[in-house]
Amino acid sequence: MTPPVAALRDESNTALHAHACAQPLLVLRLRGSQRDMGAQHARLLRQHGGYEAVLDFYPRLPEMLLLGGANAHEHSLQLRAARTIKDVLLRRLERQRPAEYLARSRAFMEELGYPADHARFISVMDVFQNVVGVIGRLRLGPFASRASAAAVPACSTLMVWDDASADGRLRHARNFDFPGVGVWDLAPCVVFCEPDRGVRYGFVTARGADTPGVTAFNEAGLTVTAHTRFHRDITFRGAAVVDIGHDIVRRAETIDDAVAIAREHRVASTWGLAVSSAAEHRAVVIETTARDVRIVDPTADRGDHLTCANRYRHEATRAGQVETSSAWEAHSSGRQGRLRALVAEARGRGGMTLEDLEHALDDRVDPSAPDEPRGAGAIVAQPCTVKSIVSDPENHAVHVSVATAPTSRGPYQRVDWSWDGDADAWTLEPTITPAPSTAAERAHAHFVTATCLDRQSHDWRAALRELERAVELAPRDPSYRFLAGVLRLRTPNTTSALRHFSAGLDRERAPYRRAQLLLWGARAAEACDQTETARAWRDELLAMTGNQLSELRSAARADQTRRYDVRKRRIDINLLLVDAN
């Protein structure tokens, strides 16, 4: 099978997403025991096809993320070690799974012709998240230098009701950010389940992913969406997130039920579960670690809406939080701040409509520099958004984007709740996503391609070419300038890197992002023997204030003492976080 990234290397059409048009939205209806539903899901997928890419993607995900940029010999050694560790941890987690959910996963795999133990890969994000969290905090192991580069800004949720909603109804909007561009986004799927025990429920997924607990809803009006967190309190002898979310939508009818179910489990990894209830007009975020479950309620916002991203907000869970870099905090807090600002803006119009929520998922404004949208950074719309939905439980529907990544741009298709009837599957009439038309849209398409190349094939030179095409189309966007500048530092052409940083500084007003440009611009200036420019930029950075800037100021002070030699240092870059170290 050709890897999805292969099509991205077609130089003639790279930025217009040669990797595809999404398949028609597939809707499935399952019923019976969990094992029965796993087998039914697989049989229906066999009839409709399009599931192989997702199933082939999960086993290689952790290595794909953690081993980027290694040389051939180093890659070979680390790949063997990573696979061994990954399989041990996955099998340990699999032994903790509830018997009925494990039976469902194994029946799903066997019916598709895969080995039953392929089901262990359903917990791959718990393993990856735990490993990144541990090495990011302790700086241990062969992959420590890549922890920051591997971290993904995973997901944004906004829940509104009462005065925050135009018609008072509760709605739950969610972007699923995941390093599966060219795989997950190409095969949208909604699955309705009528279990022999429990509440009828559904979930939004991709063909080939029987993952009921990631983006799910039920007939009682609950919606559940999971978000990555990093924390020091992790375990490999606990429940995986797909099973916790699955248990909630299958058993819970109220928020209190959902919280009680989460507390029944020892949770393996560190998550934020956004849970809303249409019947109660209420929402919470359930924050989990291996040792604790804490609740964030709407008083953290205004009482009629709640946001969720990737940082812990409860005082008890914040204490052990792990952040791979200061960019993680800036990125997550920025997205939540922008969502709250959009709710505030909508109040003047009478509250947020369904369309407002869809537009919010595609918002590209950094709240610390709101005057001009940008293509990357602390914005809600991410290049790795592979699933965007608005759950509308009071209207008995879920609205699902059928675009390729970033799916937040839409268009959205309405899927009415459908539990009545025999096990069945059908597709909805395909909706064509318009090709990028404006210069900004074409620039962003190049950026999306760059992130795919960086994540899936680790071809940073090809990613740099795509970024510089984005710069040509959107020369005023400082986020593209920063990323192109850092990647240029990996080449002998440090003069081009300096030009990117200088142009970025001409435009950048967001304090954290400006500080990044000053740090790396000073390093580029030193490499070009422009010591006065380097000194002036470091001085500006050192004069800046703010808790988020302490890491960058410390780096600048270290550079004053000992020159940062870009030719001798390994530079890790995270295109999604817009970060480098």
Q: Dump pLDDT digits (tens) for 164-213.
A: 999 999 999 999 998 888 899 999 999 999 999 999 999 999 999 999 99
pLDDT score at 6: 32
Cβ within 8 Å of residue 581, ≥6 positions away: 148, 149, 325, 571, 572
Distance CA 234, CA 510 (A): 34
Q: Dump pLDDT digits (tens) for 26-68.
A: 999 999 999 999 999 999 999 999 999 999 988 877 666 665 5
Q: What are the beta bridge partners of residue 171? A: 160
Distance CA 150, CA 457 (A): 13
In terms of CATH, what superfamily is 439-580?
Tetratricopeptide repeat domain (1.25.40.10)
Average pLDDT of the chain? Answer: 89
522-531 burial, b at 16+ Cβ within 10 Å, e below that, comes to: bbbbbbeebe
71-75, 391-395, 497-501: which has the minimum mean pLDDT?
71-75
Q: Dump pLDDT digits (tens) for 97-141.
A: 999 999 999 999 999 999 999 999 888 888 877 876 666 556 554
pLDDT score at 306: 96
Residue 366 near residue 513, CB atoms below 8 Å: yes
Cβ within 8 Å of residue 64, ≥6 positions away: 179, 455, 456
DSSP 305: E
pLDDT at 72 over 50: no
Of 556, 552, 508, residue with least CA distance to 535:
556
pLDDT score at 456: 80
568 vs 202, higher pLDDT: 202
| Residue 355, number of CB atoms within 10 A of its CB | 13
CATH of domain 156-427: 3.60.60.10
pLDDT at 7 over 80: no
pLDDT score at 235: 87
| Alpha-carbon dihedral sign for residues 125, 574, 176, 427 | negative
Distance CA 177, CA 182 (A): 13
Q: Judge if the upstream peptide bond of residue 406 is cis by omega within 30 degrees of 0.
A: yes
pLDDT score at 79: 60
| Alpha-carbon dihedral sign for residues 458, 462, 464, 470 | negative
pLDDT score at 19: 42
The domains of the chain are located at: 33-149, 156-427, 439-580
Sheet holding 215-218, edge to edge: 293-296, 282-288, 271-277, 222-228, 215-218, 201-206, 188-195, 26-32, 424-427
Of 154, 150, 148, 66, residue with least CA distance to 555:
148
Question: What is the signed CA dihedral for 111, 80, 132, 243, rounded to 10 degrees?
Answer: 20
Q: Indicate the pairing of strand 188-195 with strand 201-206.
A: antiparallel
150-164, 295-309, 441-455, 516-530: which has the minimum mean pLDDT?
295-309
240 vs 503, higher pLDDT: 503
65 vs 371, higher pLDDT: 371
Q: Dump pLDDT digits (tens) for 429-470.
A: 877 777 788 999 999 999 999 998 988 878 899 999 999 999
pLDDT score at 575: 93
| Residue 414, number of CB atoms within 10 A of its CB | 13
DSSP 405: S
Q: Which residue has the tokens 């990996």?
A: 490
Residue 377 near residue 398, CB atoms below 8 Å: no
What mean pLDDT comes out for the span 377-385?
Answer: 95
Share of the chain above pLDDT 70, in %: 89
Tokens of 311: 């940082």
For 483, the 3-state DSSP assignment is helix
| Residue 373, number of CB atoms within 10 A of its CB | 14
Residue 320 near residue 314, CB atoms below 8 Å: no
Burial of 517 (0-12, 13-18, 19+ CB in 10 A): buried
